[in-house]
Amino acid sequence: MIRQKNVQRAVTMRDVANLAGVSQSTVSRVLNQTADSAVLISEDTIQRVNDAVKQLGYYPNLTARSLRGQKTQLLAMMIADISNPFYHYMVRNVQDVASKHHYDVLISNSDHNRQNERHFLEGIIRRPVDGVIIVPYHIDAGDVDALIQRTGVPVVALGTNFGHASVDQVFGDDERATYEGAQWLIRERGHRRIAYIEVPGTHPSRRRLRGFKRAMREAGLHVPHEYVRPGDFSIEAGGRAMRELMQLQTPPTAVVACNDLMAIGSITMAHEMGMTVPADVAVIGFDDVPEASRIRPALTTLAQYPSAMGVKLAEMLFERIEGRYDGPARAFEVPCRLIVRQSA
């Protein structure tokens, strides 16, 4: 194999040191000089080192720095699926905050899969990072605690019921939001037969279903078993659920979908079945994805604010990373809000 190996060698601190006529440790000190640094360096030396750095185009090697200093300048983030619109803004804003702190972000997709979530945690043992952001679906406080015990890495999470003593949380109060949304459908719109499209086995769906049922119960309304249909967060699933609902003996007059994509799927399906939204059936979604305001009829939905969530998650994480906060787990609520458009 003739494979010409790369001959080029990275410029190292020692190269800088040689050129500047000082030792490698002096270079290190010049470059890491902080205001409160105890060690003093002469102006002359600083000048020479900086010149040499510029002349050689030296950049510190973060791998070496990580190994030595236990600081990786890396965040790891686990979400369910990067191609789900809900996470874009969250990811985007986490990246922006990280970037301000000169951090890079490693992103993992779990696909709502327990195995993948576990694998993500293992990955962090292999490749140490300074902080972790997770959107947990299956793993629990115990799993994360094993990681924390072992690495001491700060962790923050999205969601409301992740009871770990040192994992900060950001959550939208979706149970209350769905409660209020259902209440609004009943009181303001006069609906009495309301269905719910769930995603079995996921916490958010379960919480929202709880809020929905509470509103119904308090209004003295019954939710027949067949009014709760399963989906999987996708447009197609929303369509399927809607068709099943509309084919019932006595179909509902309103449908609460546990996310916008399924709500959009329902509306499309209703149209295909020759019905009018909201006259024949009203639809309400959850998330307020950009598309919600553009479809016809525009979607009435319970808005979440993933950008704000991303920012808050990242900020709480950096407070811990930088030692500005070191107390017990905090929980920060990003409120949801009912956005009334035309679909209900």
259 contacts 291 by C-beta, under 8 angstroms: no
Please calculate the CA angle 295-296-300 and round it to the nearest 5 degrees. 80
Q: Which of 19, 26, 120, 229 binds DNA (CB under 7 A)?
A: 26
> Of 147-155, 163-171, 242-250, 276-284, which segment contacts its own copies by CB under 8 A?
147-155
x-or-dash string of contact with its own copies, 103-142, rule CB under 8 A: -xxxxxx------------xx-xxxx--------------
- Which candidate, 254, 237, 246, 179, places its Cα nearest to that of 212? 179
Tokens, residue 89? 């803004």
User: 8 is in the binding site of which of its own copies, DNA, none (Cβ under 5 to 8 A by kind)?
Assistant: its own copies
User: 234 is in the binding site of which of its own copies, DNA, none (Cβ under 5 to 8 A by kind)?
Assistant: none
Tokens, residue 270? 């209703």
Q: Does 23 interact with DNA (rule: CB under 7 A)?
A: yes
User: 29 is in the binding site of which of its own copies, DNA, none (Cβ under 5 to 8 A by kind)?
Assistant: DNA
Q: Does 22 interact with DNA (rule: CB under 7 A)?
A: yes
Q: Rounded to whole angstroms, how far apart are CA atoms 127 and 106?
A: 11
Q: Which of 18, 56, 60, 166 binds DNA (CB under 7 A)?
A: 60
Q: Is 199 exposed, middle or buried (0-12, 13-18, 19+ CB in 10 A)?
A: buried
Q: Rounded to whole angstroms, how far apart are CA atoms 312 and 314?
A: 5
x-or-dash string of contact with DNA, 86-125, rule CB under 7 A: ----------------------------------------
Q: Does 66 interact with its own copies (rule: CB under 8 A)?
A: yes
Quick one: which H or E segment has residue 14? helix 13-20
Q: Does 335 interact with DNA (rule: CB under 7 A)?
A: no
284 contacts 306 by C-beta, under 8 angstroms: no
Residues ≥6 apart with Cβ < 8 Å to 205: 198, 199, 258
Residues numbered 67-86 forming contacts with its own copies, rule: CB under 8 A: 67, 72-73, 81-83
Q: Does 308 interact with its own copies (rule: CB under 8 A)?
A: no
Tokens, residue 24? 């490698």
- Which candidate, 178, 170, 100, 101, places its Cα nearest to that of 135? 170
Nearer Cβ to DNA, position 45 or 109? Answer: 45
Q: Which of 1, 2, 7, 10 binds DNA (CB under 7 A)?
A: 10
Q: Does 47 interact with DNA (rule: CB under 7 A)?
A: no
- Which candidate, 227, 234, 195, places its Cα nearest to that of 112? 234
Q: Give the total of residues touching its own copies (CB under 8 A).
A: 51
Output the CA–CA distances (angstroms, integers) from residue 39 to 25, 28, 36, 221, in the order listed: 12, 11, 9, 73
Nearer Cβ to its own copies, position 251 or 297? Answer: 297
> For the chain, how big is the Rg over CA atoms in Å?
26
Q: Does 42 interact with its own copies (rule: CB under 8 A)?
A: no
Nearest distance, CB of residue 81 and its own copies, angstroms: 8
Which stretches of the chain bind DNA, using CB under 7 A? 9-10, 12-14, 21-26, 28-29, 31-32, 39-42, 44-45, 60-61, 64-65, 67-69
